[in-house]
Amino acid sequence: MRLLDKIWQQGRDFLGVDYPIMCGGMTWISDHRLAKAVSDCGAFPVLAAGNMPPEELEREIDQCVETLRKPFAVNLITIAPNYRAHFELVLSKAVRHVIFAGSFPRKIDIQQMKKNGKKTLSFASERTIASRQIDYGVDALIVEGSEAGGHIGYVSLIILLQQVLFEFRDFPIFVAGGLADGRLMAYLLLMGAYGCQFGSLFVCSEECNAHPKFKEAFIRARARQAMATPQYDSRLPVVAVRAIKNQATDEFGKLQIKLLQQLEKGEISRERAQYEVEKFWVGSLRKAVVEGDVDFGSLMAGQSIGLINEIKPLKEIIAQLITDAESELHRLHSVFKGLQ
């Protein structure tokens, strides 16, 4: 028996897969094809709803239901314009796990999913949010540090581990943000994590449908180039986005200034301004992922890109994570034996 089998069984049981290794729900990337490839490797796939038309999401879900032998999750963006339609659709489908992302779900949304037999997960970007989600009845948390790509919180993973993972010992918690190495996964499991979520690492897989230029940008970039966007003014609250700096990053800054000027003149409502912000990211991300425009498209990526050097088959990526985690556990076992 592997040492890993002694410490990740709860995560395996919760997700219903061989390995509690999650593929993050990445808009335009985490589709039914990547989901099947991840599932076939024994890991846990997440289908990203993004803001796709509901009929398109239904086709994606149906493909997963028909072709995947093990469970998968649908990632719902609570701030997406199509969120309500997506919510009702997932409610009616044979989806066993639902992940609320983008912002934090309402208690009624969590309870409704649970009443329909689904396991619910949501992101915890700080301790108070984690506590509130647990009170709402969510089944598990994903503690994601600000090192992650895409929409992020403001607290690093090293702080969240101390604030949340150590604080809520008896609650199912998965860890994400800046992960790309199986050795670190071993330590997180020892700390009590049920499993780990990877994003940028799986983008750099052969099976990922992202444009080759998008993947190349990940391989070339250094960790420090994956930067978080600032909020210019509290009148226009924006969820920070981490992406590789390029022209799209500069264009987003210009968009914020333009929207703030329109708000000041009363030409636009705050709700409409926030919608324009999300519309920008959805459109520019598609431009990069699908069309390969790595100059003006959004290169959403976590700082883990500094640890990724090549494009490899998913089978090799997951096998390497497991091998490295197991090797690290054996090394630690030898260290502790030597201390006796």
Cα separation of 65 and 29, whole Å? 18
The DSSP element (H or E) to which 159 belongs, if any, is: helix 157-160
pLDDT at 176: 98
Q: Extract the tokens encoding 167.
A: 């604080």
Q: Extract the tokens encoding 37.
A: 């490839």
Cα separation of 72 and 75, whole Å? 10
pLDDT at 204: 97
46-79 burial code (b ≥16 CB/10 A, e <16): bbbbbbbeeeebbebbebbeeebebbbbbbbbbb
Domains and CATH numbers, the chain: 4-210+308-339 (3.20.20.70), 222-289 (no CATH)
The DSSP element (H or E) to which 140 belongs, if any, is: strand 140-144
Crossing angle between the packed helical segments 247-264 and 270-289, to the nearest 10 degrees: 170
Write out the chain's pLDDT in tens, 340 residues.
789 999 999 999 999 999 999 999 999 999 999 999 999 999 999 999 988 999 999 999 999 999 999 999 999 999 888 999 999 999 999 999 999 998 889 999 999 999 999 999 999 999 999 999 999 999 999 999 999 999 898 899 999 999 999 999 999 999 999 999 999 999 999 999 999 999 999 999 999 999 999 999 999 999 999 999 888 888 887 778 899 999 998 888 888 899 889 988 889 888 888 888 878 887 899 999 999 999 999 999 999 999 999 999 999 999 999 999 999 999 999 998 888 7
Q: Which residue has the tokens 């500094």?
A: 306
Q: How many CA atoms lie within 13 A of 206 on its CB side?
A: 7
